[in-house]
Amino acid sequence: MNAVLATILKRLGLGIATLFVVSAIIFSSISMLPGDFGEAVLGQSATEETVAAFRKELGLDKPAPVRYFEWVGSVLTGDLGTSFSGRNASGQDRSRAVIDLVAPRLWNTLFLAGVTALIAVPLALFLGLTAALYRNSVYDRTVNAATLTTISTPEFFVAYILILFFASLWPVFPSLANVDASTELGERLYRIALPALTLTLVIVAHMMRMTRAAIINLLASPYIEMARLKGASQSEIILKHALPNAWAPIATVIAFNLAYLVVGVVVVEVVFVYPGIGQLMVDAVTSRDIPVVQACALIFAATYIILNLTADVIGIITNPRLLHPR
């Protein structure tokens, strides 16, 4: 197990270094955007002195490296900064802490992602296993055709098609997923039905095809042939012999798709006007609310890195060469 622990620690260190590099890229990218919040609030008629004073109040007059390290230091202490959205040219300051804006939106996004994952992951594993079990059958071809269709269709198009059929022609679900903290669980599940279905259709295809490919690849291995010669049934071969050795690639694709549920949910949240962190980031970009944009981007990056680290750890733990070194 020492080799496993050492490999996990290396992956963890690499993940932390990656997050540091990504934070620098996020800050640099936002700093290079044309215009700034001061100009957006004061307007073109404001004098240079007024704009400069307003920028100084916001701390935007400091050099970029200084602002970057101040931001990173604050993030390490759990302080994501203060939103610019409550400030104005008249001197009034009604701004809120970024964490207060992000926390409820992040919860909404994680709730939507969690509901989708509970549906999509078991469904994808079932379809992948059964497609491999009945390879080249009508069932296999039908599942592959359906998944190829969903992979080739953009998320927003899938969302609008679902809205057309299930919210317009046959009004079964609402077209807008407007929820808040007071929304009860049953009502919340009802309102997010279409966003969850959209995300499910998108990610099931990737996970199903990877599961099918991993199982079919392992079925050609010599130890699988030995299991067949011993009289094992096809289901026993897949569940007891092939599936345990396929967890590494399957876990990787599941982690990638779960990361997409949080990171790539922006389009779906915008289409359904769902109050998640993706919608918050779009609104913050529009209003040049730099602290909120930086916080949302950093949360997206951290989520993606953490889920990929989880996939790496699962792959390492299920690797017999590390678990049983010679």
Q: Kindly indicate the confidence band of residue 129, based on its pLDDT and cuts at 50, 70 and 90.
A: confident
pLDDT of residue 250 exceeding 60: yes
Take residue 257 and report the two structure tokens written for it. Answer: 């798709």
| Helix, strand or coil, per DSSP, at residue 140 | helix
pLDDT computed for residue 44 by the predictor: 65
pLDDT of residue 168 exceeding 70: yes
Q: In angstroms, rounded to a whole number, what is the distance separating the alpha carbons of residues 39 and 59?
A: 14
Closest C-alpha among 120, 119, 78 to residue 100: 78
Which percentage of the chain shows pLDDT scores above 70? Answer: 88
Q: Kindly indicate the confidence band of residue 237, based on its pLDDT and cuts at 50, 70 and 90.
A: confident
Residue with tokens 């916001």: 58
Q: What is the mean pLDDT of residues 44-67?
A: 75
Which of 65-74, 80-89, 190-199 tops mean pLDDT?
Answer: 190-199
Residues linked to residue 93 through DSSP beta bridges, in sequence order: 87
Least confident of 109-123, 263-277, 311-325: 311-325
Q: Tell me how far CA of residue 312 lies from CA of 11, 113, 207, in angstroms.
A: 8, 21, 17
Q: What is the mean pLDDT of residues 195-211?
A: 87
Domains of the chain by residue range: 104-308
Q: What is the mean pLDDT of residues 154-171?
A: 88
Q: In angstroms, rounded to a whole number, what is the distance separating the alpha carbons of residues 212 and 135?
A: 9
Q: In angstroms, rounded to a whole number, what is the distance separating the alpha carbons of residues 76 and 79?
A: 7
pLDDT of residue 217 exceeding 60: yes
- Backbone phi and psi for residue 49, each to the nearest 5 degrees, phi listed first: -65, -40
**pLDDT, tens digit, for every residue of 12-32?**
888 888 888 988 888 888 877
pLDDT computed for residue 36 by the predictor: 62
Closest C-alpha among 237, 244, 268 to residue 317: 244
pLDDT computed for residue 87 by the predictor: 60
pLDDT computed for residue 263 by the predictor: 75
Residue with tokens 């010599």: 222
Q: What predicted TM-score, i.e. pTM, was given to this entire model?
A: 0.82
Take residue 56 and report the two structure tokens written for it. Answer: 């100084």
Cα angle value 218/124/304 (rounded, 5°): 95
pLDDT computed for residue 136 by the predictor: 83
Mean pLDDT value across the chain: 81
Q: Kindly indicate the confidence band of residue 88, based on its pLDDT and cuts at 50, 70 and 90.
A: low
Q: Kindly indicate the confidence band of residue 313, based on its pLDDT and cuts at 50, 70 and 90.
A: confident
pLDDT computed for residue 82 by the predictor: 80
Q: In angstroms, rounded to a whole number, what is the distance separating the alpha carbons of residues 130 and 258?
A: 22
Look up the CATH number of domain 104-308: 1.10.3720.10
Task: Please tell me which residue, 305 or 232, carries the higher pLDDT value.
Answer: 305
For every residue of 49-91, DSSP letters joined together read HHHHHHHHHHTTTS-HHHHHHHHHHHHHTT---B-STTB-TTS
Q: What is the mean pLDDT of residues 76-105?
A: 74
Q: In angstroms, rounded to a whole number, what is the distance separating the alpha carbons of residues 204 and 119?
A: 9
Q: Which run of H or of E encompasses 111?
A: helix 98-133
pLDDT of residue 90 exceeding 60: no
Q: What is the mean pLDDT of residues 158-173?
A: 89
pLDDT of residue 190 exceeding 70: yes
Biggest distance spanned by C-alpha atoms of the chain: 86
Least confident of 7-16, 23-32, 311-320: 311-320
The CB-side HSE value for 261 (13 A sphere, CA atoms) comes to 32
